[in-house]
Amino acid sequence: MKNKWALLTIFSLCAISALNALTLQDGVKEVLTTNPIVQERLHNYRATLEDLRTTEAQYLPTLDYTGSIGREKTDSPNTGNVSLNFYEHSLQLSQNLFNGFGTIYEANYNKARILSAAYNYVENANDVAFNFTTAYINALKASDIVQIAESNVKYNKEISIKVEKLFNAGMTTRSEVEKAETSLALAESNYVVTQNNLDDALFNLERVYGKRVNAEDLQGAIFSGEMPDSLEEMREYARLHNPSVLVNDYNIKAANAQKLSLQKGYYPIINAFARQSWANNVGGLAGNDDRTKFGLNFSYNLYRGGADESQIQKSLSKIHQESEIKRDTLRKLDEQGSLSWAAKQNLQRQITFLKRYEATSKKTLELYEKEYDLGRRTLLDLTTAQNDHVSSQTQIVRAENDLLLAHYRVLDAMGTMVPTLLGTQSDLSFAKVGLKSLDNRLENDERIDNLIFADRQVEKYKRDSK
In sequence order, which residues have a C-beta less than 8 Å from that of residue 391 and are 6 or more positions away? 361
Dihedral, 47, 48, 50, 51 alpha carbons, nearest 10: 130
What is the per-residue pLDDT across 323-369, written as a single tens digit (0 to 9) for each? 999 999 999 999 999 999 999 999 999 999 999 999 999 999 999 99
- CA gap 387, 157 in Å, rounded: 14
Structural domains of the chain ordered from first start: 22-63+101-267+309-447 (1.20.1600.10)
Task: Please tell me whether residue 257 adopts helix, strand or coil conformation.
Answer: helix
Q: What is the pTM of this model?
A: 0.86
Kindly report the average pLDDT of the chain as a whole number: 89
- Judge residue 236's burial from the number of C-beta atoms within 10 Å of its C-beta, 0-12 exposed, 13-18 middle, 19 or more buried: middle
- CA gap 130, 133 in Å, rounded: 5
Read out DSSP for 321-349? HHHHHHHHHHHHHHHHHHHHHHHHHHHHH
Residue 83's Cα: distance from chain center in Å? 70
What is the per-residue pLDDT across 149-195, written as a single tens digit (0 to 9) for each? 999 999 999 999 999 999 998 888 899 999 999 999 999 999 999 99
CA distance to 199, 225, 236, 405, 459, per residue, from 411 (Å): 28, 9, 13, 10, 27
- CA gap 191, 194 in Å, rounded: 5
The answer to whether 91 and 276 have CB atoms below 8 angstroms apart is: yes
Residue 375 is predicted with a pLDDT of 87
Residue 464 is predicted with a pLDDT of 38
The answer to whether 105 and 168 have CB atoms below 8 angstroms apart is: no
- CA gap 246, 240 in Å, rounded: 8
Across 95-103, average pLDDT: 95
Q: Residue 448 gets which letter from DSSP?
A: P
Phi, psi of 62 (to 5 degrees): -115, 145
- CA gap 126, 433 in Å, rounded: 14
The answer to whether 118 and 45 have CB atoms below 8 angstroms apart is: yes
What is the per-residue pLDDT across 20-74, written as a single tens digit (0 to 9) for each? 799 999 999 999 999 999 999 999 999 999 999 999 999 999 999 999 998 888 8
Q: Give alpha helix (H) positions in 210-306.
A: 231-241, 243-262
- CA gap 340, 404 in Å, rounded: 11
What is the per-residue pLDDT across 119-143, written as a single tens digit (0 to 9) for each? 999 999 999 999 999 999 999 999 9
